[in-house]
Amino acid sequence: MALAEDSRNASRPNILRRTYLLDREFQLKYILLLTCIGSGSMLLFGVLALQAQGMAEEGGLSATESLWWLTGAGTVGMGVALALFGLLFTHRVAGPVHVMSLYVAALAAGRYPRLRPLRRKDELRAFFGRFSEAVDRIRQREADEALALEQALQVLKPLGTTPEAREALATLEALRARKRQAVDTSAPSGAFKSVA
């Protein structure tokens, strides 16, 4: 049994993924933004610490006590700033993910939804573009197959004289109707109107 497990593990390639910048523009944008927020806040903290030390010397306060108050205020301020940044960032990413999740649910139900473009500042644009292209290609393939079934049915209907042949033609007709209904974009897709 150990031999079978060793041979199974030996047949699997050892995949090491070392590429960390998969979406260069997206990742570098937020790496730079986080770096600026972090280094800017540390610079601000240093400047304020120097001012607090100078004021403590002039006012007779303890430098340690002033530094503790400054650290507390800086921590709260940084927490609020990062929370707001996180809300903005996650909204720009979660919105497209939410929309694509709804589209995937529609695809799983056998419908091809009309895809709307993302909002101006949304992220994941390249991924959404590839997703939209894939949906369009699959929709077109379904439409082509429905047309091919329709043409085959026109040729085969006069030949369907036996009950088995008529049953097979009915199955093909139901398949054609299902494919046509799936790619029909004239029906309103109300589920996607209010998506953020």
DSSP H stretches of helix in the chain? 2-11, 24-59, 63-108, 125-156, 163-183
Residues 22-45: tens digit of each pLDDT: 778 888 988 898 899 889 888 988
Return the higher-pLDDT residue of 163 and 17. 163
Say whether pLDDT at 131 is over 70: yes
- Confidence at residue 6, expressed as pLDDT on a 0 to 100 scale: 58
The residue type found at 160 is G
- Residue 13 pLDDT grade (very low, low, confident, very high; cuts 50, 70, 90): low
Average pLDDT of the residues of the chain:
82
Entry field: residues in the chain:
196
CB of 74 closer than 8 Å to CB of 92: no
DSSP 65-119: HHHHHHHHHHHHHHHHHHHHHHHHHHHHHHHHHHHHHHHHHHHHTT--PPPPPPP
